[in-house]
Amino acid sequence: LMQAGNTVDVLEAPHTGKASVGNQLQKKIFLAYGGKILTEFPEGKSYTLVIDAVFGVGLSRSVEGEYASLIDRMNAMEGAKAAVDIASGISADNGNVLGTAFRADLTVTFAFEKVGCLLWPGNQYAGKVVVADIGITPDAFGERKPAVAALEDA
């Protein structure tokens, strides 16, 4: 987004413990490009696009406390909403809402559609789902076959 000339702010979600080496590297690169990292929620600021990347497909517990508040506040913001891979707060395995969840207009998911984006109620939070090809083929899963299939009208 920044390379396309857009101003980008990133809100660093509250976390415990030390950030991973990969996270630290990405943060350093983002700052080197002139990105701005916020540590407090930008009250009263409006954005054209709000992107959710708080949680991913590994989420298996209820979203509570500061994280629930963050997601609820992101939902209340003006502007289009997009989720990375799956909306935060949605179980990738079954589409259940784990406490609270981000309501996306668009979800850009990687490699394959996630079950949680297809099943109710998760599909109500995903918006339009676009699959981004990142080079992972079905062969990567070996003998494992998909557990579900999506059918669409012709």
pTM of the model: 0.89
Across the range 82-98, mean pLDDT stands at 98
Band of pLDDT at residue 128, cut at 50, 70 and 90: very high
**CA 4/CA 8 separation, integer angstroms:** 11
The pLDDT tens digits for 15-36 are 767 888 998 999 999 999 999 9
Domains in the chain: ranges and CATH: 41-136 (3.40.50.10260)
The pLDDT tens digits for 41-79 are 999 899 999 999 999 999 999 999 999 999 999 999 999
Helix, strand, coil percentages in the chain from 3-state DSSP, rounded to 5: 25, 20, 60
pLDDT at site 16? 67
